[in-house]
Structure 1
Amino acid sequence: MTHGTLALVAAPSSRAAGAVGQLLRFGWLQVQCCLFAAAIFAGLAVSSVVPLPIARYDALLLYGLAITLVFYLLRLETGREVAVIGAFHLIGLALELYKVNAGSWSYPEQAWAMIGGVPLYSGFMYAAVGSYLCQAFRRFDLRVTNFRWVPAVLLAAAAYANFYTHHVLPDVRWLIAAGFVVALWRSRVFYTVGTRRYAMPLTVSFVLIGFFLWVAENAATFLGAWQYPDQAEIWRMVHAGKWGSWALLVSLSFVLVAAVKAREGRFYGEAGAQPQVELGRLDERAG
């Protein structure tokens, strides 16, 4: 076998090894971005099997506050990011109060720190989404191009309002989702893995994050964090339609975090070389 033939054989193997390495790096960065969410889920899991001196939901509230403080003291979150996470907590708590009283889901356990049947710890589920986005901006060096603020803000507000109004008015979540696709059609999110710069359509990232939140919701309901009416007797998987709801919540969350990052000067542009990968395909120069 000639030297040229060996090179041709080795090239695909080298590219495959490089792709696997990048995938592992990407996964490790994602794990780091999910530290706050992982800590919350660890609390849910441990508190479901370990006897506690106080009600479980009360313990989870104290635990969530402690985790937030630890992240701030360890400089894993900045003061501004903690404020954003706190805003997510309040936004989520308001939604929880409405949804629980509308019968959408319930909390099967009792606690002192509850309002209208909603334990105050529940806002940390939404705070975890905010923490993930803040961490992703930092660890992946995220930058966004062609972001249209006015339609994005209006659609995010409509998405949040629809979570309330669809109980009495027609559900327009799919129209809102289509609006996001149209408004952000040219918008790309740029991110770094290792030494390479990548890009994908911003709306695709909303859908992907929404999927993993739906998976996380299945785990949370299994651990008794809350339950849907059809889970009262026996646990069942959460309806796949909730994936769309989570994707819309991500869009709202992204707009809030984007406003903070734009103020910090860490939102616009590519912030690096031209992307070598879009939607997971290697650019010819990357080989």
Structure 2
Amino acid sequence: MSNGPWTDAENDLIVADYFAMLADDIAGRPYSKAKHRRALLPLLNGRSESSVEFKHQNISAVLKGFGEAWIPGYKSAFNFQMSLADAVARWLALNPGWLERLPDAQPSMGLREAASLWVGSAPTLSNQPPPQELEQMLHIARKFDVAGRDERNRALGRAGEERVLMHERATLQAAGRGDLSRKVRWVSQEDGDGAGYDIASFAQDGRPRLIEVKTTNGWERTPFHITRNELAVADERRSEWCLFRLWNFAREPRAFELYPPLDAHVSLTATTFQASFN
């Protein structure tokens, strides 16, 4: 049995195998991990079944760093080599449709009601992963610009905003505020970007809720981009503005909300600079 480092070719093979299982898992199709493992073994350099099993767990950890879904049956195992992250990046580059996927059943604008989203607590220091695990995931997110990828994914952003629009309307309707539900506006679609928020909604008592939506297919700690204008509006309208973070979107959308000041919840890092001539 080989105990040496996995080659790029081996990593590419096992990553492709993992994504094949992941696609079945997300779609609810039956598959056999043991069957996949047995089919993969002859293609590798004398790896043991336990080695393959552990590498699949490594891939789960890598995918968390990429802000992507993973197979729950393969518990994330960290301390992986970055060559495995490179293999995942190669697979994603060869399969761009994967990053553009959306949930099979998106609420339609023609529906009168949509189920409310699960909205839980935001990540905190008290519930963060062990430091070494968190650093590995954040390193991947920085190296492969996961936040920028999600920001550039227009289809993902639009679908997330639509889902939150339906959530706000359904929540108000369920609270007996159909009058307010009918007034909820999709500002970014109706007026264009630039307002500093995407959805103009209401609290049940009628107070305005200005909602900036950030969507990812990844876990709740996936980094995201926020603009200078969004931060300015958050500061100017603190009592009304909130950031609605929608995560695990392609599989089972979940959410949490953040309220100004944002730097009380997240670390804000400047990633671009404006250059001007004197």
TM-score by length of 2: 0.27
Q: Which has the higher helix share?
A: 1
Whose RCO is larger (CA < 8 A, sep 6+)?
Answer: 1
TM-score by length of 1: 0.26
